[in-house]
Structure 1
């Protein structure tokens, strides 16, 4: 890794692949932009960046916006990092062989590679992730596992720093990774300056868990929606009904009545079932042990978790993990979606 000398900017080259996703790209480069100069003046003083594509043509994003100007691929030695921003995954798309060849050159030059969002797919296709873990969004976990069964995907954290390989789940987590690199090279004050202007309270570490797909709609009652929000935010602990009622400003009797009217179950059973569904998701999408998953889902011990899991799903967590490993259909990323009273009670 090339460490900038005093007064020398942190230099980042972006490889923008076809139909790249705008959010992770914008979050990453804006963190650099805000750290590069005083205020919001955008001069490339402390940070320097270049956008690159095969042949130097404009880069078309998945939302239809184009990035210009872009440069042809440059000497990797100009950069401290090469950041690969991936895009929409379509098996019918032609592989960008020129981009893959360039990534191999970057590796040979000893410059760290950063795979953001599906940019990690390109690193894998270039043969640069063998024997390494790679961070991926839970949304792309199944696709990566199916296409690259020899690669270990990690979908329960924001990013992984493996020295000369850094991989990031994408989305707004790109800002966290960019701030992590800015802090490493320029200091914490510059990283925090960027995040605060972006209205991000604090930098999240790479080990911070990804938000899980816990989605509810068609819940009409305002108090029930507020209670569900609180339950979702505390899946790792048991919140008593009395405490839940206090937080939303009502009585225990009222919130229990409203839950039964809206969802067909009381708040205590709803919360426990939700924690079990979260455990089911973790069994499919992470390598955490059954004991770790039980603890993360707020159960007192493994036996307690396993007993309730069997009651809910008809099998043990260990058996569920085994069937998932043997190619059973993965959990739908939106399996926690609840749209009606019948869905909750089924």
Structure 2
């Protein structure tokens, strides 16, 4: 980390990186801070500072294999305005060092706000620090959270949640938006917008903006149905047929249909179509792609097919639906 100038930064962030943390979530968060901290992109930590903390100063390897070397030992958390926990692979959460848990609990007692990025929310919850707080997790990890923490329903339809001194986000690009929210709060809106603009993020998203992903009405704890929905989500531009999904999951089509009927009250094909249409709505509302491009991106063979299916389900064409959304003035085809 660069040497901090004599002036006191207005925003001081301490990072804890879990084993196999998500590098993109960490990098997006840090880059917003870096670009807001100085004039241009000179990266001097003048207005805000960022420090990677560790109990032993050993490099921490991310889920993609790239390692990050910590800057300082844990020490007193009160020297920071926020402690940000960056999670990653679910299987690594239980292996978090007890020293990290003690540090987070000390920070909470001292009133230092805690931030959970990606599965960092799982880590905060496992440390007993999320009781009574809303908690945001990615739609992709919604059911994993339910499996680990009974009786708690996480927020999986928003990109981040600010609930008093607990801030949580779904990871990925949402990390940049949460960091920009902090910059806006402590340094100013111009600095926040400057960071996102330099990162080629055109639109500033608020906490209540939706995550793209599986529609909430399709959430289930059935592992077979969850795997099938994830498979469709990951292949939106060329969605496999129901029989192909069954083959990939090594089950019979009849078994797959039975599980969907019992879990969601839907046939698999209807559920898969809902996932594709939900993504199409997200792109219509949140991107400048043409309707033709969105049709192809969500697996429809051509524009006329997309328009027909969309109108059958929504009672309105994609172009008309887009015009009805607040703040939208985008190309239609």
Task: Tell me which interval the TM-score lies in, with the shorter structure as reference length.
Answer: 0.5 to 0.7
Aligned counterpart for 2:309 among listed residues 257, 263, 270? 270
TM-score, scaled relative to structure 1? 0.64
Q: Which residue of 1 aligns with 2:176?
A: 175
Q: Which residue of 2 aligns with 1:28?
A: 29
Q: Which residue of 2 aligns with 1:162?
A: 163
CA distance in 2 between partners of 1:140 and 1:205 (Å): 21
Alpha-carbon distance change, 67 to 145 in structure 1, aligned in 2, over 3 angstroms: same
Residues 1:37 and 2:55 aligned together: no
Q: Which residue of 1 aligns with 2:11?
A: 10
Q: Which residue of 1 aligns with 2:125?
A: 124
Equivalent pair of 1:231/1:271 in contact (CA under 8 Å): no
CA distance in 2 between partners of 1:182 and 1:90 (Å): 32
Q: Which residue of 2 aligns with 1:233?
A: 280
Quote how far apart the aligned CAs of 1:52 are. 0.9
Quote how far apart the aligned CAs of 1:233 are. 3.4
3-state DSSP of counterpart to 1:12:
strand
What are the within-5 Å matches in structure 2 for residues 208-287 of structure 1? 208-213=209-214, 214=233, 215-218=235-238, 232-234=279-281, 248=292, 262=301, 266-268=305-307, 270-271=309-310
Quote how far apart the aligned CAs of 1:51 are. 0.1
Q: Which residue of 2 aligns with 1:324?
A: none
Q: Which residue of 1 aligns with 2:270?
A: none
CA distance in 1 between partners of 2:283 and 2:202 (Å): 23
Quote how far apart the aligned CAs of 1:267 are. 3.8
1:23-44 Cα distance to aligned partner (Å, 9 max, x none): 1100000100000011111111
Equivalent pair of 2:9/2:45 in contact (CA under 8 Å): no
Quote how far apart the aligned CAs of 1:59 are. 1.5
CA distance in 2 between partners of 1:168 and 1:90 (Å): 19
Q: Which residue of 2 aligns with 1:206?
A: 207
What are the within-5 Å matches in structure 2 for residues 130-169 of structure 1? 130-169=131-170
3-state DSSP of counterpart to 2:203:
coil
TM-score, scaled relative to structure 2? 0.66
Q: Which residue of 2 aligns with 1:195?
A: 196
What are the within-5 Å matches in structure 2 for residues 28-67 of structure 1? 28-67=29-68
CA distance in 2 between partners of 1:236 and 1:41 (Å): 34
Q: Which residue of 1 aligns with 2:331?
A: none
3-state DSSP of counterpart to 2:181:
helix
Equivalent pair of 2:236/2:276 in contact (CA under 8 Å): no
3-state DSSP of counterpart to 2:91:
coil
CA distance in 1 between partners of 2:78 and 2:179 (Å): 20
Equivalent pair of 1:56/1:71 in contact (CA under 8 Å): yes
What are the ranges of 5 or more consecutive residues in structure 2 without an aligned counterpart?
A: 1-6, 215-232, 240-274, 285-289, 294-299, 316-320, 325-333
3-state DSSP of counterpart to 2:190:
helix
- Structure index of larger Rg: 1
CA distance in 2 between partners of 1:79 and 1:129 (Å): 20
Equivalent pair of 2:212/2:282 in contact (CA under 8 Å): no
Q: Which residue of 1 aligns with 2:296?
A: none
Q: Number of aligned pairs?
A: 246
What are the within-5 Å matches in structure 2 for residues 81-92 of structure 1? 81-90=82-91
3-state DSSP of counterpart to 2:140:
helix
Alpha-carbon distance change, 149 to 107 in structure 1, aligned in 2, over 3 angstroms: same
CA distance in 2 between partners of 1:205 and 1:99 (Å): 30
3-state DSSP of counterpart to 1:199:
coil
Alpha-carbon distance change, 41 to 92 in structure 1, aligned in 2, over 3 angstroms: closer
3-state DSSP of counterpart to 2:95:
coil
Alpha-carbon distance change, 141 to 267 in structure 1, aligned in 2, over 3 angstroms: same
Structural RMSD (CA): 3.3
